[in-house]
Amino acid sequence: MQSRQLKLIHLVILLTLFVFALSTRSYANQKDGLLKIHFFDIGQGDAIFIETPSGYQILIDGGPDNRVLQRLGEVMPFYDKDIDVVVVSHPHADHIAGLISVLDKYEVANVFEAEEDYNSSEFKAWEGAIKEEGANEIEAITGKIIDFGDGVILEFLHPFESFVGAETDKPHDDVVVAILRYNNFELMLTGDMEARIERRLIMAGYNLDSDVLKVGHHGSKTSSSEEFLSAISPEVAIIQVGEKNRYGLPTPEILKRFDDYDIKYYRNDLNGDIKLTSDGINYLISTQK
């Protein structure tokens, strides 16, 4: 109980911005000034694990099942059973089902999500798992920033309005979108964002410029509109997609669009696990296959 209390985050309100500074951190592997991002090959779904230079650990979505546990076991030391922050992009099973097993095996301190209600068995199980875990549930909404120190911040861009407690039947409309920044490096995290939300972000006047794009909705043609690609002008796109998935993703049309925009892309179905390392200026990508 005591350690859970120590994990309570400090909340500082600066004008309209909410800045969270985390009070404790999980074990750092090594202090090397590097930000490490793993785009896990977990089948059809999203799961991204991030370790900041000072050792904060963040998991964004958990994929469709407990395969995420094996991946976490490969990148975290065996004695490390804490994760500082879990971010849920939206309540579809290919993003949250794996998180239920994560909460079972790891101590998770903070969960950021839109906190909306969704009628599915996976979502009910997920809600039950959070209650049991006793993790802090924090609303993810535009203007909130988590400050991890060392120049690393996670800045929430969407949703624009609060959906706490509201039942949704269209989770993609309320998707949690964020930019991870480490000095001059940016990663755009989109969940399953579709073109109409991409448009809202552009209209809102946000600086969307990013080095790397986590491609929205697994490379579906619902997402990655031309205007959005122009607004963020990424060098690299990462497509989280399962091998031989039944949706035929990524869509050839979208891959061609990346080629047209001179965006190099990686895919979990063909490249296996994808790892990105950044010192805040440059970045390096390595793949399992």
- In the complex with Zn ion, the residue whose CB is nearer, 192 or 273, is 192
Could you tell me the smallest distance in angstroms from the CB atom of residue 224 to Zn ion?
A: 14
Count the neighbouring beta carbons within 10 Å of the beta carbon of residue 128: 12
Q: Among 134, 120, 65, which residue's Cα sits nearest to residue 90?
A: 120
**Residue 192 binds Zn ion, judged by CB under 5 A:** yes
Cα–Cα distance measured from residue 50 to residue 111, given in angstroms and rounded to the nearest whole number: 15
Could you tell me the smallest distance in angstroms from the CB atom of residue 120 to Zn ion?
A: 13
**Residue 94 binds Zn ion, judged by CB under 5 A:** yes
Cα–Cα distance measured from residue 282 to residue 210, given in angstroms and rounded to the nearest whole number: 13
**Residue 61 binds Zn ion, judged by CB under 5 A:** no
Interface region with Zn ion, contact rule CB under 5 A, candidates 13-21, 87-95, 122-130, 165-173: 87-95
Does a cis peptide bond (omega within 30 degrees of 0) precede residue 171? no
Could you tell me the smallest distance in angstroms from the CB atom of residue 62 to Zn ion?
A: 12
Could you tell me the smallest distance in angstroms from the CB atom of residue 3 to Zn ion?
A: 34
- In the complex with Zn ion, the residue whose CB is nearer, 7 or 217, is 217
According to CB under 5 A, which residues from 24 to 43 bind Zn ion?
none
Query: Are 51 and 276 contacting, i.e. CB atoms less than 8 angstroms apart?
Result: no
Beta-bridge partner residues of 36 = 51, 277
Query: Are 213 and 263 contacting, i.e. CB atoms less than 8 angstroms apart?
Result: yes
Interface region with Zn ion, contact rule CB under 5 A, candidates 1-9, 32-40, 90-98, 136-144: 90-98
User: Which residues make up the interface to Zn ion (CB under 5 A)?
Assistant: 94, 192
